[in-house]
Structure 1
Amino acid sequence: MNTTPGNPPADQVVAAPTYMADIRFFFRPEDIDHMAAKGIELGTYDGVKKNALAVLAQTSPPNAQMPPDAAGKWSTERAQTFKNWILNGFPLGTATAGGPPPPSGAAPTRLRKDITALTDAEFELLKTAFNGLMARDTDAPDSYFALAGQHGLPQSWCLHHENRFNPWHRQYLLNFENALRSVPGCESVTLPYWDISTNLPDRLQHPPLDKYVLPADPGANATPQPVTGYFPYTTKRYQVATIAQNVRNFGVLDDIATSLTQSLWGTFNVNGYQDFSIQAHDGGHGSIGPTMGDQNVASYDPVFWFFHCNIDRLWLSWQTRVGGTTLTGFRSTLGADTDWLTSPFNALPPFTETADQTIESQVSYDRLELPPALESALENLSGSIDAAGTFAFRSANPVSVRVKGIDRLNIPGSFVVTLLSDGEPVAQRYFFQPKTPRKCPTCVENGIINLDFRMPQDQLVDRSLSVRIDVPGHSDEIGTAFPLAQAGNPTVNARLLAEDA
């Protein structure tokens, strides 16, 4: 069947349907809304599975009661496919990639390009817009200083390592882009992206995009108390070759590739697109330089905006691949946790917009990561699968090595977790956080975290594994190494990843 949202499935019986490839498209937005008003969830796998027998009874012809309108009535073939899904044990399955993008609500109104693809005139306009923001008084709410201060010091609003992470940054980029457009003559400018799989472009190595000299102390008005050490301050980056090496060392491109193959949105610290997307984001921050690696001031470096534009491009790429560019389609990739898309849990402070309003993006990109269908198989690999179903282990499947139970609140700033095999580093991950995480409400809510490594089996078998945590810039008598005992005595879990058989 393998249809796209908004298009009715072909009226043919599918012998082995799955939720992600077939069943989720049986429910129109109006069906989901109609039943939600009655307290019945039909927009997610968990909801449909829970109510499957009632759905079958109410929708099966010839005496179907639901949907109430004639146009929405199910055919005999569709009802049989749904029955087969129940009889087969409610298989979740995987989304089908490579199809045409599903229709969304309003058509995107802005096109963002690769920064290397801008014409000279477009690039000059971008520089004019940045210079205009940077020249504004620090007290102006649409100044560069004030806008950057929403993410880090002094406001520190950003929601990291949780469901609203991608929505928050999508809205933040849009607001910043609007501020760029408010500079006289720059009404048509859009933020370009830097594809981090390529070297830092030369265009980002010259004024005004190479650095930013803070015109005021960002920590002076921080709450609940002032923060020192950031004035005077000029943003700093590593050399181009060092950035590229860090991107490789921190597994940024590996995590991006893994994120784009996930069928499910998932949960940070568990699995799915979100988990690997956030790891790639953190690794990118740590790769670029000491400023980008410090959550207190990362957004003051101009490269922040182009880096995050790429993160948003990757999210839109994934949404397109799994049929999640509409709110209904996106919700179908979630499990039981959908509260963060509804009030009051959908707030994106300090913005008035909410998380659910960001799902249908106002922006398009000149290029999405949409490889041909035969090269873009999606997956739903997991360390545990419902025993009621069937599962398989493949020899080609990687091993999930999870450093579990890290108490991030004891660690003074962003840190690096290194996995060692026979004493030699084989993989690293960077975790991005403020220098004083106990003062960050979002950090406290997610104080115990895990970091995931997907490793080929032959890199681990018959070898001794160990873990090290380092805090870049840590300057006490122990150097950068951070004692594992003070990090909560994390454990190491290694699991073969299973899939639906």
Structure 2
Amino acid sequence: MSSTPRVRRSLSDIQHDYDQGNKTELENLVRAWKGIKELPANDPNSFFTLGGLHGEPFRDQGKTDPNWWGGYCQHGTVLFPSWHRAYLWRLEEALRSIPGCQDVTLPFWDECSDESREKGLPSALTQEFFVLDGKRIENPLRSFVFPKAIVDEVKGTPIIYSKPEGYETVRYPLSGLVGTEADRIATKLHNSRFPNHVQNVKYLNDNISTWLSGKIKIGGKWRGEVFSRFESCLDAPTYTLFSNTTSTAASNASAPAGTHYVSLEEPHNFMHLAVGGFDYPGQGDSSAIPGANGDMGENETAGLDPIFFFHHCFIDYVFWTWQRRQGATDEFSIDAKDPGASYYKPDGVQPPAGAAGLDPNAILGLQTTLDPFVKADGKPFTTADCINIEKQLGYVYGKGSLDAYAQRTKQALFMAGAVQPEGKTLRVSRINRGKIRGSFLISAYATVDGKREYLGTRPILSRWHVEGCMNCQTHLEATATFKLPLNANNTAIDESGIEVEVQTRDTVLKRPSGAGLLASGNAAAATAAPTEVPFKLETF
């Protein structure tokens, strides 16, 4: 490893250099991506191989057996930040293996920058063509054409998410759902409404900008919802709570008044769904472009859209920012008793013995292997091997939008603003991911001082059928908590004015205002027939 760490810069800064005539860095990045995409599909450095490690194509026994892992990705566990850190390192090594690209370093899409909030994506990720070595080529950062078909073969599940050889990944506002004849017909009709690439990029950037700029009222002040989530996760007091949604959901369910933890995984999910086909809630029509279904929006194929790695490079930058803020650049610990450190289901059912090579009794910790990644010496990666990115992995991050928060003395604006009296907490639970096709949003509203007010959204990044992934099966329940505001005179709002919507790919499931389905305190929540309200609400 070189004594001088390489620098992962903001893609916008690299593009600015290119526009000013300093073209080498962006050109070499494009050259490297072009190279790994053109490798044979079975080459270990090919983008098809590496992008497929996240979800499909499933492999080994997991190809057909739903009791095995559907892909390798760690979601809802304490390994979420470290597994993806190792994933980025492996992809970067592949990029650097292309002749002439040995100095290439993966940039990050700075999602919290003013530029992203105002304009959306850097154009290097969306432009249709790129001039490289005097030749006009298709931009390899925009999409990926499958060199082989991906076929859903998991037994006992509908074959929904198969995609043929020659399929090209899509983003909002397009649809990529082509697994069945009915889906192909619907997708062809949907995409025919969006034939203009330039206009589609505008739709995409407008949607991303809306997500990044969308606001909720926190502590009596309007805050950017996604930005405030990134801010808040930086104040998670432990790595366990910072790392994943399972841990924070369990903690928030019993946290004292005024305490609400946000994990890195939550704002991460927002941007997957913004690129992958969901409109920002709370804007009147909750689905301005119904039928949009981009690959980034589902775990099966998210890793096969190049933008995945620029997004996750930012997530790793946030991870490193948290480490610097919390003084955890050389060590941190994992709470072995936390539900995010186990593959057990909430009902106590374990994964089958040997599923995906897993020990069903294992507790996830710093020495748990981050399969399938191995270090340069051929030994398996563990979280302990990638805590300090500079000393252990040989890279650092360049200037980014959250740098000010890397200092422990810098108080996040979100925390500084939340000084007004707190209302109760609304908890939404008993949402069964197994009964919902694909990813979805949980949004809450309330009547405050006679006006309907948007309380926020929790994004759930999921799969089209979680039956095909044991990790998903051990995290079937989706939950969300929302801080309830007070009226202008600091009195509690009328809970009958609370509304919750679950926006799925197919429909919007609602619990309307005045339905009388809330229970307060420790009392058992009232329930309704599944056809009426498919979730439980309670306040505390």
TM-score bracket relative to the smaller structure: 0.5 to 0.7
List alignment gaps of at least 5 residues for structure 2.
18-22, 59-70, 128-138, 173-203, 216-224, 242-246, 253-259, 277-293, 342-362, 374-379, 512-527
Could you list the per-position Cα deviations for residues 379-429 of structure 1 after superposition, in whole angstroms to 9, with x for gaps in the alignment? Answer: 999xxxxxxxxxxx9634575433223222221111111112246644222
- Give, in angstroms, the shift of residue 467 of structure 1: 1.2
Q: What amino acid is aligned across from residue 263 of structure 2 in structure 1?
A: F
- Name the CA distance, whole Å, in 2 between partners of 1:455 and 1:277: 22
State the partner residue of 1:235. 169
**Distance 1:490-1:373 versus aligned 2 partners, 3 A rule:** same
What does 1:45-444 correspond to in 2, within 5 Å? 109-118=5-14, 119=17, 120-155=23-58, 156-197=71-112, 198=116, 199-206=120-127, 207-219=139-151, 228-231=161-164, 232-238=166-172, 239-249=204-214, 251-265=225-239, 266=241, 267-271=247-251, 275-289=262-276, 290-327=294-331, 330-331=332-333, 334=335, 336-337=337-338, 339-343=363-367, 346-351=368-373, 352-361=380-389, 362=393, 363-367=395-399, 369-371=402-404, 375-376=410-411, 395-397=420-422, 400-422=425-447, 425-444=454-473
| 2:299 aligned counterpart, secondary structure | coil
- Give, in angstroms, the shift of residue 241 of structure 1: 0.7
- Give, in angstroms, the shift of residue 167 of structure 1: 0.8
Q: What amino acid is aligned across from residue 210 of structure 2 in structure 1?
A: Q
Aligned length: 369
Could you list the per-position Cα deviations for residues 79-108 of structure 1 after superposition, in whole angstroms to 9, with x for gaps in the alignment? Answer: xxxxxxxxxxxxxxxxxxxxxxxxxxx988
State the partner residue of 1:72. none
**Distance 1:223-1:144 versus aligned 2 partners, 3 A rule:** farther
| 1:151 aligned counterpart, secondary structure | coil
- Name the CA distance, whole Å, in 2 between partners of 1:488 and 1:159: 30
Q: Give yes or no for contact 1:247–1:287 (8 Å, CA) kept in 2.
A: no
- Give, in angstroms, the shift of residue 137 of structure 1: 1.0
| 1:270 aligned counterpart, secondary structure | helix
Could you list the per-position Cα deviations for residues 244-303 of structure 1 after superposition, in whole angstroms to 9, with x for gaps in the alignment? Answer: 213445932221111012222322423499853111111110011221111111111111
- Give, in angstroms, the shift of residue 488 of structure 1: 8.8
- Name the CA distance, whole Å, in 2 between partners of 1:177 and 1:263: 30
Q: What amino acid is aligned across from residue 270 of structure 1 in structure 2?
A: A
Q: Give yes or no for contact 1:127–1:208 (8 Å, CA) kept in 2.
A: yes
- Name the CA distance, whole Å, in 2 between partners of 1:284 and 1:186: 29
Q: Give yes or no for contact 1:262–1:378 (8 Å, CA) kept in 2.
A: no
| 2:462 aligned counterpart, secondary structure | coil
Q: Give yes or no for contact 2:56–2:150 (8 Å, CA) kept in 1.
A: yes
Q: Give yes or no for contact 1:153–1:222 (8 Å, CA) kept in 2.
A: no
List alignment gaps of at least 5 residues for structure 1.
1-105, 382-392, 496-501
Identity of aligned residues (%): 26
- Name the CA distance, whole Å, in 2 between partners of 1:316 and 1:211: 28
Q: Give yes or no for contact 1:212–1:235 (8 Å, CA) kept in 2.
A: yes
Q: Give yes or no for contact 2:326–2:408 (8 Å, CA) kept in 1.
A: no
Q: Give yes or no for contact 1:400–1:455 (8 Å, CA) kept in 2.
A: yes
**Distance 1:166-1:424 versus aligned 2 partners, 3 A rule:** same
Q: What amino acid is aligned across from residue 493 of structure 2 in structure 1?
A: V
- Give, in angstroms, the shift of residue 223 of structure 1: 8.0
Q: What amino acid is aligned across from residue 230 of structure 1 in structure 2?
A: K
State the partner residue of 2:478. 449
**Distance 1:340-1:360 versus aligned 2 partners, 3 A rule:** farther
TM-score for the superposition, normalised by structure 2: 0.62
**Distance 1:244-1:150 versus aligned 2 partners, 3 A rule:** same
- Name the CA distance, whole Å, in 2 between partners of 1:467 and 1:164: 31
Q: What amino acid is aligned across from residue 50 of structure 2 in structure 1?
A: L
Instruction: Pick the structure with greater CA Rg.
Output: 1
Could you list the per-position Cα deviations for residues 338-371 of structure 1 after superposition, in whole angstroms to 9, with x for gaps in the alignment? Answer: 742255xx12222221122222222310135342
Q: Which moved more, 1:334-343 or 1:462-471?
A: 334-343
**Distance 1:394-1:492 versus aligned 2 partners, 3 A rule:** farther
- Give, in angstroms, the shift of residue 218 of structure 1: 2.1
Q: What amino acid is aligned across from residue 398 of structure 2 in structure 1?
A: D
**Distance 1:229-1:203 versus aligned 2 partners, 3 A rule:** same
Q: Give yes or no for contact 2:150–2:162 (8 Å, CA) kept in 1.
A: no
**Distance 1:433-1:466 versus aligned 2 partners, 3 A rule:** same
State the partner residue of 2:291. none
